[in-house]
Every structure is written in C-alpha cells, then in structure tokens.
Amino acid sequence: MAMGAPWGMAHSVSQGVVNNPERLLLSLFQDEADYEQQLGQNQPTARFYAWIQHDASISPGNSGGPLVSMDGEIVGINTRGNSSGGDMAFAIPAPVAATIVADLIREGTVPRSFFGFGVRSLKRSGFDRGVLVSSVIRESPAALAGLEAGDRIIAIDGEAVTVAEPEQVPPFLRAMTERRIGSPMAVTLSRDGLERKAKLVSTTYPPDLGHDLEVKAWGVTFTELTPNVARSRYLNRDVGLLVTGVLPGKRVATAHPPWLVGDVVHAIDGKPVGSRVDMQALDLDNGGAAPRRVVEIERNGAQLLSVLDAKPVRDEDKKLRELPKAWIGIATQPITATTAALIGGPATGGYRITRVYDGAPAAKAGVQVGDVLTALAGSAVPVSGDIGDEPLQQRIREALLDEPLQLDLWRAGKLIQLGVAPLAAPAPVSSLKSRTIDWLDLGVRNIGFYDRVARSIAADSKGVIVDNVASGGLAGLAHLATGDVILRVDGEVVPDVDRFEQLTDRKSRRAGTPLSFLVLRGSRTRLLYLDAEWEMGR
C-alpha cells in the first residue's frame, strides 16, 4: 500500500504489488555508466541503492510517504512515479532510509567516505571477477593512489570482490562510503594482465548539491556550485552561483547582456560570491544600495560582464500620466432611427442612458435611465450604428471642466434640456498606483472608481485589489487570487498600496508569526493565512 497526499489530498491509500525489489532505471538501450546523469544533471540520486518498483498508483504529493506491506511493515519511501499516476512507481528501500534517518538524528548529517572513483559491473566485459573502475576524479584519493579508468579491482583489504550485475553496483558503492572517514583501504588491482596493490585514504564526501537561493527583487534563482555540479557542466571553477531560473521582465532578464539559465555568477561589483552568505551580505532582497551592479558571469567558458539595474522601480514610475478629461457619469447605448421609432423616441435616434453613476454630475442634474440624449451644447451627436458610444464619450471628454454643458434629452415623448458641470474623469485602472511585493510574488493596486461600481464597494471602504499572483509563489500558497480585495493585513486596515507595502515588509515581521489577510471575494469575506516560517523575518 502506498500512503500519502496525492495532489494535496491527505490520508490517501493505493494498493499494488512489488514488480521488482532491486530496480535500476535503465532501459536496454542505455549504458549503466550513464545511470546517474540520465536521472538529472544536477540531481544524482539512487547512487547507493536500487529502487523498489511497484504498481500502486502514486502522484505528486505521495513523495515521502511510506510503502507499507499488508502486514503493516514499512518497506520503502515512495519517491518517483508518473505525474498522472499509473502503474510504475519507485520507492527507496526502508533499510536505506532508516540508516540515513539514524545518521541525521545522531550526527545532523550523513557522514560518507570519499575515495574518488566510479565503478561499473562486469556485465558484457568478459571478466568473471572483480569490479571495473569507470572513472577517477582528479586530485581525489583514488587519483593520488594511482588508480586509472579501466583498472579492475579484484580485492579490498584482502577480500575478493566481484560485482557481476548493474544492480550490485549501488550496494558496493554504499559499502565504500560507509567506511570510517580517514581510514585506509588496501586494494588489489589488475591492469593489462598484471596485479598491483594500492592504498587509498578516504576523505569526507563532498556535497553533490549546494543550497538553493532566490533574489526575488532581481527575478533570479541560484544554486551554489559544488565540485560535482562543476564537473557535470565542464566548469574550470567549482565556486560560484549557478543560475537555475530567470523570470521574464525582471531585472536580470533586462540586464546588459541578459542573464541565462546555466550562467555562473562569480562576482558582484568585484566581490566574489559563491554562497547564500555572500549574497545576503550584499543586501540584494531590496535591490541593494547601488543603482547599478557589475556582475561577472561565466557562460560556455567565456568570462562576461553584465550590467544590472538594481535600483527598485516603483510601478507608478512606469505609468504614463494623462491630462484630466471631462466626465459626467453616464453609460449609454446607441439607438438608431429605426429603433427609436419602435420605442417612441426621437426621429433621428440618439444615445439611450443605461446607467447614471451615483453622485456624478449627471445624477445631480436629474438625468435618468431611459432618457435618450440627442445633442450636446446644441450640437447633434451622430449615431453610426447600434454598437458602441465612442462618438458621444469623445464629445464629453472634449468639454471644459466645471463649465456648464447643455444636454438635449428625449423623455416620455418630450424634449427637455438639462445643464451639467463636467468633472475630471475617474482615474482608469491603468493609471492607479500599484506595488509589486517581490517576496510574496504579489502585485496589488489601489481601488478605483470603476472597481467600486463593478463590485458594489462602498465609497468609504478601504483596501487594495490583487492585480496578479505568480503561480507557485507565497501569495498563491496563501490562496490569494487575482481580483481579491484585501481589506486588512494582520487585523490592520489597508487604506492604500503604500500601507500594504509597510504591513507586508518581510524584514519587520516576527519569525514564527503567520501573515493574515482579510479579503473580499465576490460577495463574501475570507480570512486567509500564510504560514511560511522559513520566509518570515529573513
């Protein structure tokens, strides 16, 4: 039985049978020497064990859940499967996982010895004893002892060794790494038909992967270089930050030249960087103090300089400012002469009033829904069709602010005239002040007049509107959605985007305290929480 939370549905169980208790993920058309790399260039896995293959259905969310026998014994930890479920899944054997857990509890890490050589089985080699050395890492204990690719190890510490099949390679490697760090190991080698002895002294196994980090303000993710990652990418240096993700439109994507996934950052403003600590010292979360940064990048062996505009840019700084336009607060529908005749309207047609906004100049002047507007300031407004009222709205926008404007209206079979004093039109959505909260992957803007009309939000209500939520970001984790009106943050009223930015400032938050949002979605309010302790207070 496979237990877990597929697609987030907790406490789920599926059932199947074990198809193979020692499976390497190799097809008939792959060489075993390519095993690690074909699982992921920067993600070596199953190096020290073979998988349990089973057909209990698992999906994303099952990883880390137990594979349990019908007797209730945990036999494995589910790790790999098909994204849509299916009949092929793989689990880490429970004894391997138990050993790792015990090491982590006792040591805080998994101590492993490193000798610096890779092996392959004797399959198809023609030999019947030993294990083949497939690779030797430069400057490793194996290299210092004189081992070479192609050697055959036939004995270790006087005990005969034979690795006949690929499935025997992982336990052999695990036995090597479980030797005490710094201990000597005597090997007997066969090379060109001659036997020789060598002595290796292990060192601490270097990390395969470095820490991941992200600079949201720049729109980039990194992983720390390690010797393993550097070797897999044929890099000359194993210190630096490998670019693993670039967000379109953000600062690194618009640098000169733009950054690319696979670039390696070695220095920023002349200061070497190779770890999270180095980046945190530069205070990059808020763009840092320098308006521009000069970054040293390695790309396909070439050493490049990239200039990055690091100074934060307010969203409103990028908006075009418009001159105020006249507005009287009506929505209309064009009525042709044919339609007007059917409803008893003016012979020439006009623009039927479909909405009068509360408190607008037209409402104060007495304009009513159902009136048909035929002229402005004594001049007829032509009707060219029954769709779109742009000719009328353009004439209104061209009027003078606060100057009386005469409206000719047809009401109940009679022509009446009303005077209105146009005001400046409410700000369009495109010109409203907005903010991007990088660490939340969230964009918000102030509430505008038309937002209040469309959502029936009271004129005195406070809040900001969610403009965008990045997929997979922290705001999405809190279940915020585009179009939500955020009314309060941690119980405090949000009057505008400036205050929202202050209330969600990451550096001012107390570690371990969830962030709460009171939002209006549709006609209902909701209380949402973001409990991301690893991000709070950083």
Distances from the Cα of 463 to the Cαs of 78, 230, 452, 458, 496, in angstroms? 45, 49, 11, 11, 6
3-class DSSP assignment, residue 251: coil
pLDDT by residue (tens digit) across 56-98? 998 888 999 999 999 999 999 998 886 555 678 999 999 999 9
Report CA Rg, the chain: 35
**pLDDT on residue 324:** 86
Q: Enumerate residues 6+ apart whose C-beta is below 8 A from 85.
A: 6, 57, 58, 59
Give the residue, 187 or 508, on which the prediction is more confident: 187
What's this model's pTM, rounded to 2 decimal places?
Answer: 0.64
**pLDDT on residue 404:** 92
Q: Do residues 356 and 330 touch, judged by C-beta distance below 8 A?
A: yes
3-class DSSP assignment, residue 522: coil
**pLDDT on residue 27:** 62
Please give the Cα distance from 197 to 169 (Å, whole number).
22
Here the tokens at position 160 are 């005969």
Instruction: Give the range among 43-52, 65-74, 117-126, 484-493 with minimum mean pLDDT.
Output: 43-52
DSSP at 435: E
Residue 129 pLDDT greater than 90, yes or no: yes
Distances from the Cα of 398 to the Cαs of 24, 169, 170, 266, 321, in angstroms? 75, 82, 79, 58, 18
pLDDT by residue (tens digit) across 418-453? 999 999 999 888 889 999 898 888 999 999 998 998
Residue 270 pLDDT greater than 50, yes or no: yes
3-class DSSP assignment, residue 247: coil
Please give the Cα distance from 482 to 480 (Å, whole number).
7
Q: Do residues 2 and 57 touch, judged by C-beta distance below 8 A?
A: yes
Q: Do residues 526 and 519 touch, judged by C-beta distance below 8 A?
A: yes
Give the residue, 322 or 246, on which the prediction is more confident: 246
Q: Enumerate residues 6+ apart whose C-beta is below 8 A from 102.
A: none
Distance of CA 440 to the CA centre of its chain: 11
Do 113-204 and 212-312 show the same overall fold? yes
Output the CATH code of domain 429-530.
Answer: 2.30.42.10
Strand pairing of 51-54 and 18-23? antiparallel
pLDDT by residue (tens digit) across 205-219? 988 888 898 888 788
**pLDDT on residue 296:** 96
**pLDDT on residue 288:** 47
pLDDT by residue (tens digit) across 273-311? 998 888 877 766 544 446 788 999 999 989 999 998 866
Kindly state the helix (H) or strand (E) to which residue 449 belongs, with its residue range: helix 449-455
Largest CA distance in the chain: 116
**pLDDT on residue 472:** 77
Please give the Cα distance from 60 to 478 (Å, whole number).
20
Q: Which long-range contacts (CB under 8 A, 24 or more apart) does 9-15 make?
A: 9/61, 12/62, 14/56, 14/57, 14/58, 15/56
Decide: residue 203, CB within 10 A, 0-12 exposed, 13-18 middle, 19+ buried.
middle
Output the CATH code of domain 113-204.
Answer: 2.30.42.10
**pLDDT on residue 494:** 96
pLDDT by residue (tens digit) across 317-331? 555 566 789 999 999
**pLDDT on residue 152:** 97
pLDDT by residue (tens digit) across 143-173? 999 999 999 999 999 999 999 998 899 899 9
What mean pLDDT is predicted for residues 499-511? 86
Residue 355 pLDDT greater than 90, yes or no: yes
**pLDDT on residue 287:** 46
Residue 32 pLDDT greater than 90, yes or no: no
Q: Do residues 76 and 92 touch, judged by C-beta distance below 8 A?
A: yes
Percent of the chain scored above 70 by pLDDT? 90
CA atoms within 13 A on the CB side of 318: 8
**pLDDT on residue 84:** 56
Kindly state the helix (H) or strand (E) to which residue 98 belongs, with its residue range: helix 94-107
The β-bridge partners of 465 are: 445, 485
Q: Do residues 252 and 217 touch, judged by C-beta distance below 8 A?
A: no
Output the CATH code of domain 212-312.
Answer: 2.30.42.10
pLDDT by residue (tens digit) across 299-308? 998 999 999 8
End-to-end CA separation in angstroms for the chain: 40
Residue type, position 365, single letter: A
Residue 258 pLDDT greater than 90, yes or no: yes
Residue 536 pLDDT greater than 90, yes or no: no
Q: What are the boundaries of each domain within the chain?
A: 2-107, 113-204, 212-312, 326-424, 429-530
Residue 35 pLDDT greater than 70, yes or no: no
Topology of domain 326-424, per CATH?
Answer: Pdz3 Domain (2.30.42)
Residue type, position 395, single letter: R
3-class DSSP assignment, residue 412: coil
Is CATH 2.40.10.10 the right assignment for the domain spanning 2-107? yes
3-class DSSP assignment, residue 482: coil
Kindly state the helix (H) or strand (E) to which residue 176 belongs, with its residue range: helix 169-177
2: left (phi over 0), alpha (psi -120 to 50) or beta: beta
What mean pLDDT is predicted for residues 526-536? 78
Residue type, position 36, single letter: E
Residue 468 pLDDT greater than 70, yes or no: yes
Please give the mean pLDDT across all residues of the chain. 88
